[in-house]
Amino acid sequence: MIKQMLILLSGCALLFGLTVARAETVQVATAANFTAPMKQIAAEFEQRTGHRVVLTFAASGKFFAQIQNGAPFEVFLSADASKPQKLEEQGWSVPGSRFTYAQGSLILWSSQAGFVADDSPDILRSDSVKHLSLANPKLAPYGAAAVETLQTLGLYERLAGKLVQGENIAQAYQYVFSGNAQLGFVALSQVMKEGKLSAGSGWVVPADLYTPIRQDAVLLNRGKDNIAATALLDFLKSAPAAAIIRSYGYKL
């Protein structure tokens, strides 16, 4: 009996050792708009699997250039669909690994309660607006969506002199949060939690005013043999990850 117990314990120890030995680290380039949900998803993933996730946040356009120049990322979560597609076409990613993990929404937001009506963009026509923040449209899909929205509303020329550009959507949000800009176009995920605004006031931009922000993920060539990289992408498709993504205002 004792001998059988020792054999069983030895087997468990061996299995545990193999599990620990196979734990890997994955380097993830993540679009700035997805900062909050990805931190939560990564923590949940690490707890469930034992793998480690190293997150870097920036504008998708900046990551696109870095990946083409050999940056050591293994997974790319873009704020659009075009950049992952181009990386696949150019041979930088694993064919067939690309998928849409979320669809983003744009909001005109102010850190001041009551400053922006929740049913109208009329504040944009007010002379009281001195600075309007948005992300660099050449680097950030949310910035491009903001410009497209202003053009669709016929307000771009009127407001061009008031625009303050952040390098990415995180910086655009910071300008508004700090008061350096009275309002700005930011990602809904930055100001929403559990289905409601976490602070301030805002107008959720109707989806027909800009091209849909389809956010794609892709496994980069550097991560093709990393079990943590493939496991993370699988987890992004799971129900627990979907619940987190939806809680920040994204559509699936």
- Which CATH number fits the domain that encloses residue 48? 3.40.190.10
Residues 81 and 142 in one domain: no
Q: Across residues 120-149, what is the average pLDDT? A: 94
Q: Name the DSSP letter for residue 221.
A: G
pLDDT value of residue 195: 76
Residue 252 within any structural domain of the chain: no
Residues 142 and 116 in one domain: yes
Residues 89 and 122 in one domain: no
Residues 195 and 232 in one domain: no
pLDDT value of residue 128: 87
Q: How confident is the model at residue 9 (pLDDT cuts 50, 70, 90)?
A: very low
Residue 92 within any structural domain of the chain: yes
Quick: pLDDT tens for 160-218.
Answer: 999 999 999 999 999 999 999 999 999 999 998 777 888 999 999 999 999 999 999 99
CB 109 within 8 Å of CB 188 = no
Residues 12 and 32 in one domain: yes
Q: Across residues 41-54, what is the average pLDDT? A: 98
Residues 127 and 190 in one domain: yes
Cα 190-74-58 angle, rounded to 5 deg: 30
Residue 230 within any structural domain of the chain: yes
Residue 134 within any structural domain of the chain: yes
Amino acid at 129: V
Residues 189 and 222 in one domain: no
Residues 99 and 114 in one domain: no
Nearest to 63 by CA among 80, 51, 48, 50: 80
Residue 33 structure tokens: 């708009």
CA distance 218 to 84: 6
* Beta sheet of 99-104, edge-to-edge order: 52-58, 25-31, 75-77, 213-219, 99-104
Residue 18 within any structural domain of the chain: yes
Report how many domains make up the chain: 2
pLDDT at 15 over 70: no
CA distance 214 to 224: 24
CB 208 within 8 Å of CB 111 = no
pLDDT at 133 over 50: yes
pLDDT at 153 over 90: yes
Residues 21 and 84 in one domain: yes
Quick: pLDDT tens for 23-33.
Answer: 899 999 999 99
Residues 93 and 110 in one domain: no
Residue 111 within any structural domain of the chain: yes
CA distance 103 to 190: 14
pLDDT at 230 over 50: yes
Residues 120 and 171 in one domain: yes
Beta strand pairing call for 213-219 and 75-77: antiparallel
Residues 109/110/115/121 CA torsion (nearest 10 deg): -30
For residue 184, give its domain range.
106-204
Decide: residue 112, CB within 10 A, 0-12 exposed, 13-18 middle, 19+ buried. Answer: middle
pLDDT value of residue 196: 83
Q: Across residues 78-93, what is the average pLDDT? A: 97
CA distance 228 to 128: 51
pTM (two decimals): 0.81
154 dihedral zone (left: phi>0; alpha: psi -120 to 50; beta) = left
pLDDT value of residue 44: 98
Q: Name the DSSP letter for residue 111.
A: S
Residues 99 and 217 in one domain: yes
Residue 181 within any structural domain of the chain: yes
pLDDT at 81 over 80: yes
